[in-house]
Chains A and B, each alone.
Chain A
Amino acid sequence: MSRRAIPGLGAAATTDLPVLKPFDPSGRTAHDPLLISRFLARLKWWHFAVFALVLLLWPMVAYAQSRYSYGDAFEALVRWIPFVVVDGFFFNIQISFFSMAIGTVAGVFLGLMQISPLTAIRLPAIVITQLFRNSPWLVLLFIVLLAFPFEIVIGDVILPFPAWVKAVIGLSLPIMANISEVVRGAVQSVPSGQWEAAESLAFSRRQTLFEIILPQCFKRMIPPWMNWYAILTMATPLCSILGVEEMINLSRQAIEAEDNHPELLVPFYGFALLLFFAYCYPIARWTISLERKYAVKL
């Protein structure tokens, strides 16, 4: 069935009066909270293949330009892969898990504080949320790294406070603030009629929130929550600047151990890129499919 032609848009206009055309009918310029996931999910499998191909073609193009060939570089990469993946990438994932866990728990509390009727609770929560949401992640990481001691001494007990734990805390701050906004947004997306119906049935505010409103929000929070997890995972290499021995740091160490040949850069960092892509791409696809499934039907 063909779509009906709209005069002035799909067919000749039937009036010479000025016609207001629909603005941005596909909603493409509107702010999109799932931008990253949508971008990733829109990639096709062959984008992946082309990218891998470019990485493989590189050595052939540059072959014989130096004594240390790309062949040698790839050999070096293959030798280092177990180290870089097991000690490095898995550590990134570990950092992302801990940051996400802390950020989610703190963010849910902060988000619920943001919708409190008490100004004394709501206002600080809004300030904290906006502060950490709008700060550069790297700056937060540096502040946490430098502000906390490297060990905590309680009497005779010395608790080490390693850099990676600080990195977890530093990364969980912006996650906390963004999850706080996700919770607030989800609660406010529930129609006010639900609050009124619960109120008129003599539910207290707390009961209304926990029995009626939050159960309806839960599904709506999952896609943006996963979106933030993907963003967080892609941000974990920031920790390398703080000296945390995660994948990017270990890759650099491996390159140094291989005498710093410039030919090593593309294989090693390209491999890291591929690995992060391979990890985040399925999450993004899943996020977008869940978002479609849970789309609010009014």
Chain B
Amino acid sequence: METLPIQVTVNSRTYTAEVEPRLLLVHFLRDVLNLTGTHIGCDTTSCGACTVLWNGRPVKSCTVFAVQVDGGEILTVEGLERDGQLHPVQEGFWEEHGLQCGFCTPGMMMTAVALLNENPDPTEEEIRKAISGNLCRCTGYVNIVKAIQYAARKLREGATVHVGGA
């Protein structure tokens, strides 16, 4: 079986590994690096639970091979909190009750982080469009939108955030 060496920066830390080409990025994160915050939902490119940022762009990590991200930067939900301080997006989900079962939350938050990096003051419609690839079966999305609006306000008010990969 062919294996290939890869070097990937995940949450600002650089890892090297020998991987089979067929290893999916989500399995690399969860099973090799033990970063289980990234969830596997549908496993068929539909639900967005496995969303991570690859060089700053949100992608479905169940539909990317680990070998593809060689030399790249990945940001997962574990990379959001810094020194015990929640990222404004995490704080928003806490304050606005943006989750119920929590399964979609890591992916939802990664999409929100990418959106706010690109557009610090999104309209409700822009938020809803941005998260349209992330399915939530509990909340009806109302509080998720509020959570992202909370984070946008907080970020505009000048909360300092240092996250890798973005």
Task: Verify that A and B bind, or say they do not.
Answer: no
Residues of B that sit less than 8 Å from A by CB? none
